[in-house]
Amino acid sequence: MSVVRAAQSPDERFDVVDEHDRVIGVAERGEVHRLGLRHRAVHIFWASSRGLVCLQRRSYSKDSSPGLLSSSCAGHVDSGETYLRAAVREFREELGITLSADDLLEVDYASCHPELGNEFVRTYVVRGDWRPAPSGSEVDSLIWRSPPEVIAWVATEPALFASPLHHLLARDAVEKAFRALGDCHAS
């Protein structure tokens, strides 16, 4: 008999923040989501050297957007953690790949918004050729597409994608960085 780890624990602790992203308290995950409190998250778009972007189909056991397509990796910033440290941790936890903070390039900082789950979000991009080992409790599957294919797919079948992905791709800085991931000659 195998034990399947829950996709998230309701007792994880997040910093609760004010409208300026300043910490005003700490609460458990379940309470943060139930009350719609402002908190922090990261999203990472990963591209291969061939210019294909990894999309993650979220685990069907996730408490938000189960089974929907999203960025390569996304997750909450734990209490006391920096955005960048959370991005490195989430990439390792979800995709089984250990990055250095220097591997990630921050491309956007989005203010708290309902489409982002009342999260302030820092978005990063990373390019590299690693062999992922996705966490079954976090990730259902990975799908690789070119940036133009993803943008067209989101436009034609929006219901397949998590609302944070829609929101982030509508932001100029994210869209520009996302499209640039398709450039196979970028470093």
pLDDT-derived band at 5 (thresholds 50, 70, 90) equals very low
Distance CA 179, CA 181 (A): 5
What is the per-residue pLDDT across 153-184, written as a single tens digit (0 to 9) for each? Answer: 999 999 999 999 999 999 999 999 999 999 86
pLDDT at residue 64, rounded to an integer: 79
Distance CA 139, CA 135 (A): 6
Quick count: other Cβ atoms within 10 Å of Cβ 16? 18
Non-local CB neighbours of 88 within 8 Å, separated by 6+ positions: 98, 99, 100, 101, 104
What is the per-residue pLDDT across 9-44, written as a single tens digit (0 to 9) for each? Answer: 657 899 999 999 999 999 999 899 899 999 999 999
Paired residues of 139 in beta bridges: 58
Q: Which of 146, 126, 141 is nearest to 187 (CA)?
A: 126
Higher pLDDT, 65 or 143: 143
Mean of all residue pLDDT scores within the chain: 91
What does the domain layout of the chain look like in residue ranges? Answer: 13-180
* Cα–Cα distances in angstroms (integers) from residue 31 to residues 9, 12, 77, 172, in the given order: 12, 10, 15, 32
Is-above-0.85 flag for pTM? yes
The CATH architecture one would assign to domain 13-180 is Alpha-Beta Complex (3.90)
pLDDT-derived band at 128 (thresholds 50, 70, 90) equals very high
